[in-house]
Amino acid sequence: MRADTSSQGKGGTLTVDTTNLLVREGATISALTAGEGNAGNILLRVKDSIILTKDGGLFANTTEGSTGKGGDIFIYPQTLTISDGATISVNSQGRGTGGQIQLQADSLTLDNGTISAETASTDGGDITLDVQDLLLLRNGSQISTTAGTERAGGNGGNLEINTGSIVAIPQENSDITANAFTGDGGQILINTQSSPTIGRKDPKQHH
């Protein structure tokens, strides 16, 4: 499912209104620009659950050599699960600034899943996650904003998480990061109603 542009025209908004949404086996929903026009946006209004799994994903990206701005992704389900290599990404490999990701849900589970906002040479996009109950990360899951991967400037985007509880399973190498290669790194703001449980590798015990 695509809403792409390769010219001066702006990409269209791809809107999905449904009860449940399953994206799997490498299937994608994308809004891409390969030219001067801005990438389109993705809007998902899902009554119950969204499941992205087995390399499925949502992408609002720009390609190398493009000048248009990256698209935005707006996601409004009750529950969102990202697993088995699935990804939500706003990735600008051209000269346009990166798009943003906004999520409002009751629960978010990442199990070897990724949410990322990345740029090659411009300012990174922001990620805002409003999760009413539980945000769970496990099995090497990543939430990240990264700017300037080509080391050509750009400040990192900001990452804001508002949730009732956030848990990262110990020793499973999940991470939350906001980086920039040559510019300023973005800010990470986590607001939670309970103490975050961020798993770390236990030190070796000596007897």
pLDDT given for residue 205 in this prediction: 38
Does 203 fall in a domain? no
- What is the rounded distance in angstroms from the CA atom of residue 19 to the CA atom of residue 46? 5
Strands 114-119 and 87-92: parallel
Domain, as residue range, for 44: 14-194
Does 205 fall in a domain? no
State mean pLDDT over 127-156: 91
**DSSP-derived secondary structure letter, 55:** T
- Model confidence pLDDT, tens digit, residues 93-111: 888 888 999 999 999 999 9
Is residue 173 scored above 90 in pLDDT? yes
**Nearest CA to 79 among 142, 162, 135?**
135
Greater pLDDT, 149 or 132: 132
pLDDT band for 121, please (50, 70, 90 cuts).
Answer: confident
Does 186 fall in a domain? yes
Q: In Å, what is the CA distance from 127 to each residue of 17, 50, 75, 200?
A: 22, 18, 12, 24
pLDDT band for 152, please (50, 70, 90 cuts).
Answer: low
Is residue 74 scored above 60 in pLDDT? yes
Q: In Å, what is the CA distance from 18 to each residue of 12, 15, 76, 185?
A: 19, 10, 11, 37
**Nearest CA to 157 among 204, 98, 91, 112?**
98
Q: 7-33: string of b/e by CB count within 10 Å (b at 16+)?
A: eeebbeebeeeeeebebeeeebbbbbb
Does 207 fall in a domain? no
Q: In Å, what is the CA distance from 147 to each residue of 40, 98, 103, 154?
A: 21, 9, 21, 6
Neighbours of 206 (CB within 10 A): 4
Does 53 fall in a domain? yes
Does 7 fall in a domain? no
Domain count, the chain: 1
